[in-house]
Amino acid sequence: MSMHASTQSTEPAAGAIDLRRDRASGTGVARRDRYDMATIALHWAIAILVVTLLCTGWYMVGVPKLTPARGFWYNLHKSLGIVTAGLIVILIARRSFRSAPALPATMAGWERRAAHANHLAFYVLMVLSTAAGYVTSSFSRFGPKLFGIPLPHWGWDDVAQRTQYANAHRVITWIFAVLIVVHVAAALKHLLVDRDGIVARMLPGR
């Protein structure tokens, strides 16, 4: 009788085992409450690429025109943008068929709505920014390229059209950059102030 009671008291439930393992890995979040590894990998790959695109986009406009250096940076920017667009399409497709982990019950209603709106705006702006950049290249004699490989050219060499779409690309990108700052600030709040495990959902773990 005493042996049976002892066994029951020392064997945790399956859910507790998962949580214990996650706490041992330093996240404190159960595996069922985090994103799957493929989504996590896509998230961080896109994040790195987006930051790289912002940096190259800011830098390349200051490079002297009609120089090999300018051509290199513009082609790199275009190529990374196309790669990012492909990853974004995959991420949106995955999110369409796989629901996100539930948010903590401690989150206020306005925070939940803000988080949803922010993510939706991210997806819309990423698609619009990429499309505007691609069309901008299409109205240039150089055309869009993927690491030197010419891609379908949807326009012709037209300064007015190119300027129009380039301005749209620039405005969308600035709005996107502001949302990134808001997103990072919210993540830091959850990590350092709320400590509710929101950030850990998007971190690799066992």
Task: Write down the pLDDT at residue 204.
Answer: 83
Identify whether residues 103 and 10 lie together within a single domain.
no
Higher-confidence residue of 169 and 205: namely 169
Rounded to the nearest integer, the mean pLDDT of the chain is 84
Non-local CB neighbours of 110 within 8 Å, separated by 6+ positions: none
SS3 content of the chain, % helix, strand, coil (to 5): 70, 0, 25
What CATH number is associated with residue 171? 1.20.950
Segment (H or E) for 18 = helix 14-24
Identify whether residues 28 and 120 lie together within a single domain.
no
Identify whether residues 194 and 181 lie together within a single domain.
yes
Q: What is the pLDDT of residues 32-73, one digit of tens each?
A: 578 899 999 999 999 999 999 999 999 999 999 989 999 999
Higher-confidence residue of 18 and 203: namely 203
Count: domains in the chain: 2
Instruction: Domain of residue 29: give its range.
Output: 1-33
Give the E-state strand segments of 46-158 in sequence order.
Answer: 145-146, 149-150
Q: Structure pTM?
A: 0.79
How far, in Å, CA of 138 to CA of 144, rounded? Answer: 6
Higher-confidence residue of 173 and 3: namely 173
Identify whether residues 26 and 47 lie together within a single domain.
no
Task: Write down the pLDDT at residue 25.
Answer: 39
